[in-house]
Chain A
């Protein structure tokens, strides 16, 4: 599991610069995914679970899956708006 203790470069315990870059990139990706998950959870709980019952209803579950799809879509719309200027 822990990639730091298992460098991909053969039997050597030396970490190559490429390994270090890959591990940093992985770490950043994990960080980003966690942050994204937390935000989506917060937004969709707010929208879809307005009155928490004894379990998630079918309506709530399908609302949540639509909400997740829309939030991902919204992220795309915002990033397009910012970077395909004007």
Chain B
């Protein structure tokens, strides 16, 4: 493989795909950690209760909603 191939269009596409994938994984990992702390009280059982499941899913949705709100807030400051 030629060294110049490292920067070929094909490789550039690969890098940005992988970068995007990594960002998504990181986001999911961060939210799981936050929401686990907020939603899972006590020792984990054999199954999540429906309120735990709902809390986790709400937690993720509310975090997104909040991010939007903060973005709008900053945009309105400019």
Binding site for B on A (CB under 8 A): 14-17, 19-21, 24-25, 28, 32, 35-36, 39, 43-44, 47-48, 63, 66-67, 69-71, 73-75, 77-82, 86
Contacts and interface: CB of A to CB of B under 8 A. Distances in A.
Interface-centre pick from A15, A43, A70, A86 (highest chain B CB count, 10 A): A70
Q: By DSSP majority rule, is chain B's interface helix, strand, loop, or mixed?
A: helix
Nearest to A46: B37
Given A28-B22, A35-B29, A66-B44, A78 B60 contact: yes
Contacts, number: 86
B46 A78 contact: no
Given A63-B43, A78-B56, A82-B60, A71 B32 contact: yes
B6 interface: yes
A71 to B, nearest CB: 7
B75 interface: no
